[in-house]
Amino acid sequence: MSLCLAAGCADNAIPKAQLPELDTTNPLLAAWETPHATPPFASIELSYYEPAFDAAIASSRAEIAAIVGNPRKPSFVNTIVALERQGELLARIEGVFYNLLSAESSPEMEQIALRVQPKLTELANDIALDPALFARVKAVYDRPGRLDKEERMLLDKTYKSFARNGAALSDADKELYRRYTTELAELTLRFGQNALAATNAFTLNITDPRRVAGLPAFVKEGLAAEAAARGEKGWTVTLQAPSYVPFLTYSSDRALKERLWRASNSRALGGEHDNCEVLKRIAALRLKIANLLGYACYADYVLEERMAERTATVQSFLAELLDATKEHADADYRMISDYAAAQGLEGTLMPWDWAYYSERYKDEKYALSDEVVKPYFELENVKRGVFLLAGKLYGLRFEPNPAVEVYHPDVKAYDVTDADGRFMAVLYLDFFPRASKRAGAWMTEFRGAKRDGQGETRPLVSLVMNFTKPTESTPSLLTFDEVETFLHEFGHALHGMLGEGRFESLTGTNVYRDFVELPSQIMENWATEKEFLDLWAVHYETGERMPAEIVDRIVAAQNYLAAYANVRQLSFGLTDMAWHTLTEPYEGDVVAFEQRSMAPTQVLPAVEGTAMAPAFTHIFSGGYAAGYYGYKWAEVLEADAFSLFRQKGIFDREVAGSFRENILSKGGTEHPMELYVRFRGHKPETAALIEKMGLGK
């Protein structure tokens, strides 16, 4: 069916809005005459953000008013497509501001965010709770006419977004909904800011050379560089992963490691940046919102729009994996504990001992310490390998484009083209930690993909990570885990870059949360494939290809402590579900709540006075509430999916083409289970993951 979008087709025309005049001296409001219409970062001053937000919000209100005031009969185009298209200016500004708030923040930006967020929440509520607008949407939903699959999906999602955001509530309940969501938006933002501030607030400066004597040279160099950058003597450890993890892994100073571990695992637990009351209020507000909308708990509300669909399904899924692996995880702990005792550790093996002794055991059993592997994983070579893989699988090419402005000198931008030369995306790579960047690694977009009457818009994709910076004498060398992280986030990038569709809200990574990790987690499989590593993994000093014996050891060690790692991940999913299956607000102690929720997964000894929840940004400020199980869910999907590559060949273009066509390009245009079965031929089962971990035998 072809839909008329032209102005002459009155019933099916997107209504024209009387937009307010924009101050085009503000670069956020002007047309971007830049390569691929990329953000002109150098021209954007902090003072431009709030006026731009205000103007864009006003434009959105005018566009909504035009839809509501359209005298024509509601249709798919003049109502549903019009809603999809409205707010493009606001989305552009949000794409810049909120991405930089995570990657290149400042106290001033955080204050702007606090001032702007209530306005954005008010706008979202005004749209969602507008009875006249909902009446038009419902009219189309009730009598949709002939629509194709993509159009039907947009209609369904649009209708549900209204129903699930309070449109059908009474006037009194709508006001409650407004209050709850406004406060919730402010608190989730504050939670993330507190977690970042608590992470940055702690440092451990060491001036006694004896306390760092056993550290590898690359770790000492990094700690010395950190100290120098802070104007301190000696060596400084922070709670950022590239500093924290190597210190715990290689230091034999148990007292310092305990201090560091306790600091990391009590971030935002009390003190100046305390998140305990914030997170309890967040959980309570989510429950109140769910109850208003007719759900018993917040998880019921969330999972209705997930691949899993029901709370009981998720709880059964987590229990099934826990039952299959907990005994093996306990055996992992006993194995490392016995080894540590044999090495002279006195007393119980504690969490701050785990990385050190598990690394030594791995080195002894597999001769595969990070020091052995890192020289072959020089960052530039890893990047070349990742690009090469995308070329082999999907025919993509990556060319640096210095004409594209970046937001920090460490960032590099690339033009991404298809095998036929078609421009697919701009890819920004931001590798190194800094105080203005939150911890972790993530993929995001400054702009998504879409096709409309103006032509095709291709995405602007950003990968943000926190790898160890190069020093004067050593380039950035990645651990094997960091190589997997790079591949993981690059999988998200592929999902964004290869997205195809008419509607931005349905393209790329705009899929169910428990499906979005499939494209990322499947990419990690190539990290242990010799055929792939042989193409690029060379020693950064000698140029020697990674020896086959090291590759074999990597493969052999792939499932080292796999059960422990699995149960640890399940513990995060279970505590997430515990907070979001509450049916009454929780007013008690956060530490006690966490100990109860994680008790079934407890492997390492519990430590009083610590809790992860106050810094668990994924679920309290990052969009994964009642969804953290999705990482394990996606592992089951990817274990089953990659078995087809293993069967046909890890670079097989036919399999890759099917994965691109049915998974990567389709985005959220169809139900994910339909897409998965179309690619794989059957529904996934947990047995695939258990077997992959080597526990099924």
Provide the mean pLDDT of the chain. Answer: 94
Note the pLDDT tens digit of each residue in 645-688: 999 999 999 999 999 999 999 999 999 999 999 999 998 888 88
Residue in the block written with tokens 């004067």: 472
Half-sphere exposure of 333 (CA within 13 A, CB side): 19
Average pLDDT, integer, range 467-472: 89
**What pLDDT score was predicted for residue 697?**
54
Torsion of CA 124, 130, 135, 138, to 10 degrees: 20
pTM for the complete prediction?
0.81
| pLDDT tier, 569 (very low <50, low <70, confident <90, very high otherwise) | very high
258 carries an active-site annotation: no
Residue 296 in contact with residue 582, Cβ under 8 Å? no
Instruction: List phi, psi (to 5°) of 355.
Output: -60, -40
**What pLDDT score was predicted for residue 390?**
98
**What pLDDT score was predicted for residue 369?**
81
- Out of 489, 504, 517, 594, which one is annotated catalytic? 489
Mean pLDDT is lowest, of 487-501, 576-590, 629-643, for 629-643
Report the distance separating Cα 410 and Cα 533, nearest Å: 26
Residue 200: in which H helix or E strand, if any? helix 171-201
In this predicted structure, the answer to whether residue 610 has a pLDDT above a threshold of 50 is: yes
Q: In terms of DSSP bridges, do strands 412-417 and 397-400 run parallel, antiparallel, or are they unpaired?
A: antiparallel
- Reference 36, options 358, 587, 365, 428; nearest CA is 428
| pLDDT tier, 105 (very low <50, low <70, confident <90, very high otherwise) | very high
Instruction: Parse the chain into domains and list their residue ranges.
Output: 10-168, 202-264, 375-561+631-692
- DSSP state for residue 538 in the 8-state scheme: B
> Which fold would CATH assign to domain 10-168?
Neurolysin; domain 3 (1.10.1370)
**Considering the chain, what percentage of its residues have pLDDT values greater than 70?**
98
Report the distance separating Cα 517 and Cα 74, nearest Å: 37
In this predicted structure, the answer to whether residue 3 has a pLDDT above a threshold of 80 is: no
Residues 6+ apart with CB under 8 A from 508: 445, 448, 449, 459, 495, 496, 497, 499, 667
- Reference 643, options 671, 684, 674; nearest CA is 684
Note the pLDDT tens digit of each residue in 490-506: 999 999 999 999 999 99
Residues 6+ apart with CB under 8 A from 144: 76, 152, 155
* 351-366 vs 241-250: helix crossing angle, rounded to 10: 70
Residue in the block written with tokens 């709540």: 593
**What pLDDT score was predicted for residue 377?**
97
Half-sphere exposure of 624 (CA within 13 A, CB side): 19
Tell me the H-state helices in 8-106: 46-68, 82-85, 88-103
Residues 6+ apart with CB under 8 A from 405: 34, 38, 39, 40, 41, 42, 413
DSSP string over 83-103: HHHTTHHHHHHHHHHHHHHHH
| pLDDT tier, 385 (very low <50, low <70, confident <90, very high otherwise) | very high
Residues 6+ apart with CB under 8 A from 476: 378, 379, 380, 431, 432, 467, 468, 469, 470
Q: Does domain 375-561+631-692 have CATH number 1.10.1370.40?
A: yes
| pLDDT tier, 551 (very low <50, low <70, confident <90, very high otherwise) | confident
Note the pLDDT tens digit of each residue in 280-294: 999 999 999 999 999
Average pLDDT, integer, range 521-542: 94
Residue 644 in contact with residue 127, Cβ under 8 Å? no
**What pLDDT score was predicted for residue 8?**
37
Which tokens hold the place of 143?
Answer: 């009598």
Which tokens hold the place of 647?
Answer: 């069967």
Residue 4 in contact with residue 77, Cβ under 8 Å? yes
Residue 516 in contact with residue 495, Cβ under 8 Å? yes
Instruction: List phi, psi (to 5°) of 118.
Output: -60, -35
In this predicted structure, the answer to whether residue 343 has a pLDDT above a threshold of 60 is: yes
Torsion of CA 310, 314, 317, 321, to 10 degrees: 180
Torsion of CA 161, 165, 170, 173, to 10 degrees: 180
Average pLDDT, integer, range 468-479: 91
Report the distance separating Cα 246 and Cα 253, nearest Å: 13
| pLDDT tier, 475 (very low <50, low <70, confident <90, very high otherwise) | very high
Residues 6+ apart with CB under 8 A from 540: 375, 376, 378, 381, 475, 477
Report the distance separating Cα 256 and Cα 267, nearest Å: 17
Three-class DSSP category at 636: helix
Q: In terms of DSSP bridges, do strands 235-238 and 397-400 run parallel, antiparallel, or are they unpaired?
A: unpaired
Average pLDDT, integer, range 257-272: 97
Report the distance separating Cα 293 and Cα 461, nearest Å: 35
**What pLDDT score was predicted for residue 11?**
64
Q: In terms of DSSP bridges, do strands 235-238 and 203-206 run parallel, antiparallel, or are they unpaired?
A: antiparallel
In this predicted structure, the answer to whether residue 1 has a pLDDT above a threshold of 60 is: no
Report the distance separating Cα 665 and Cα 422, nearest Å: 15
**Considering the chain, what percentage of its residues have pLDDT values greater than 90?**
87
Greatest alpha-carbon pair distance for the chain in Å reads 84
Residue 463: in which H helix or E strand, if any? strand 460-464
Which tokens hold the place of 584?
Answer: 């009454």
Residue 628 in contact with residue 576, Cβ under 8 Å? yes
Torsion of CA 95, 97, 100, 106, to 10 degrees: -170
In this predicted structure, the answer to whether residue 4 has a pLDDT above a threshold of 70 is: no
Characterise 37 by phi-psi region: left (phi > 0), alpha (psi -120 to 50), beta (else).
Answer: left
Q: Would you call 80 exposed, middle or buried from its count of C-beta atoms within 10 A (0-12, 13-18, 19+)?
A: buried
**What pLDDT score was predicted for residue 559?**
87
Residues 6+ apart with CB under 8 A from 375: 477, 539, 540, 541
Using the Cα atoms of residue 208, residue 209, residue 215 and residue 221 in order, give the sign of their dihedral.
positive
**What pLDDT score was predicted for residue 441?**
94
Instruction: Label each residue of 332-395 as H, E or C.
Output: HHHHHHHHHHHCCCCCCCCHHHHHHHHHHHHHHHHCCCHHHHHHHCEHHHHHHHHHHHHHHHHC
Note the pLDDT tens digit of each residue in 19-56: 889 999 999 999 999 999 999 999 999 999 999 999 99
Residues 6+ apart with CB under 8 A from 81: 3, 5, 14, 154, 503
* 46-68 vs 131-142: helix crossing angle, rounded to 10: 60
